[in-house]
Amino acid sequence: MPDDLVQAALRAAEARTLAVGDVSMQAIAKEAGISRSTLLRRLGGSRHALDEAVRAAGVDPAGQKPVRQRAIEAGAALISTRGLSAVSLERVAADAQCSVHSLYAVFGGRDEMLQAIFERYSPILDVEAVLASPSSDLRSTVRNIYAVMAAAFSREPRVLPAIYAELLARPQDDSVRPLLQHFTPRMFASVGQWLTAEIKAGRIRDLPLLLLIHQMTSPLTMHILIRPTVDHVLRIPSPSLDEVCDTFTDAFLRAVALPSEPAPSCTSLRGEGDKGGP
């Protein structure tokens, strides 16, 4: 099946906000820049081949969510309930109601699928967005980072806590290593560059970068991870997430922020000027 016909069908469906299967052959032919009769001839007289090619590209012509989206959601649910090691292409395909071949076509393999799941349910995209236009107020930037972290750790399915549990239990496991290799350099490229800039600007202490990142992220991470246990087992009421983010923001800044130099007072300026007078 020529790819130009598949792409024409997808564009026609998107433009009309319809499922591909509901788009007329005339509309697809127009999008492809050919006549309806030419389209039918290239399809062998039936649109069945086109529907199958669209399905192989990861889109259900009947209007289901794309294979990529269904697979990410199915994989996230598996990670949350059974752990990272339980996620296989075969199990995700069964839960997402697609073929293993479709998953290979969309992702390329299991590692790439896990990376897509982590990117969707981790705070990395939101943190990068915060740091793309950081506030001139250091506290606001730190507070915004904590807010997106808290949201990512708390949302269902609980993908992030499950991955952290796997990381702590089996740091050398083959299920964890691809995520670390893919996202750790990315984290240092965003958070690390921002912290380095803050050090150079004289706003925070010049500490080793890894320790700064740990000092900023670890308290909130640990609180979110044990929060369900505290709530449901110990029956100790937890503060709101807003209060948690405010508290850890202030704690981090007390630990690393450098005092800004106070502006000189009018009195001191007059005093300096008087020294040169008669």
Tens-place pLDDT, residues 203-226: 999 999 999 999 999 999 999 988
- pLDDT tier for residue 21 given thresholds of 50, 70 and 90: confident
The stretch 166-186 carries a mean pLDDT of 80
- Strand boundaries in 116-234, DSSP class E: none
| pLDDT higher than threshold 60 for residue 271 | no
pLDDT > 70 in the chain, percent: 92
Nearest 5°: phi and psi at 204? Answer: -135, 160
- Averaged pLDDT, 183-196: 88
Q: Report how far apart, in Å, the C-alpha atoms of 38 and of each of 3, 27, 35, 45, 93 are.
A: 16, 13, 5, 10, 36
Residue 60 has pLDDT above 80, yes or no: no
pLDDT digits (tens, 9 = 90+) for 78-96: 999 998 888 999 999 999 8
∠ CA 2-116-57 to the nearest 5 degrees? 15
Q: Which amino acid is at 98?
A: C
Angstrom distance (rounded) from CA 145 to CA 256: 16
Yes or no: say if 95 and 74 are a contact pair by the CB < 8 Å rule: yes
Per DSSP, 208 falls in state: -
Quick one: pLDDT at residue 63?
66
In this structure, the chain runs to a length of 278
Torsion sign, CA atoms 10, 11, 17, 21: negative
Nearest to 131 by CA among 120, 119, 121, 145: 145
- What per-residue confidence (pLDDT) applies to 263? 47
209 with 184: CB under 8 angstroms?
Answer: no
Q: Tell me what pLDDT residue 175 has.
A: 74
Q: Residues 75, 87: contact at Cβ < 8 Å?
A: yes
Neighbouring C-beta atoms of residue 129, cutoff 10 Å: 13
HEC sequence for 1-38: CCHHHHHHHHHHHHHHCCCHHHCCHHHHHHHHCCCHHH
Distance from C-alpha of 157 to C-alpha of 121, rounded to nearest angstrom: 8
Q: Which residues pair with 204 in a beta bridge?
A: 257
* Of residues 64, 188, 195, the one with CA closest to residue 142: 195
Q: Distance (Å, rounded) from C-alpha 162 to C-alpha 73?
A: 15
Largest CA distance in the chain: 104
Q: Looking at the DSSP assignment, which residues form a beta bridge with residue 219?
A: none
**233-263 residue pLDDT tens:** 767 778 999 999 999 999 999 999 998 755 4
Residue with tokens 């069945």: 48
Tokens of 197: 């800039």
Of residues 32 and 22, which shows the higher confidence score?
32
Q: Tokens for 112? A: 């790439």
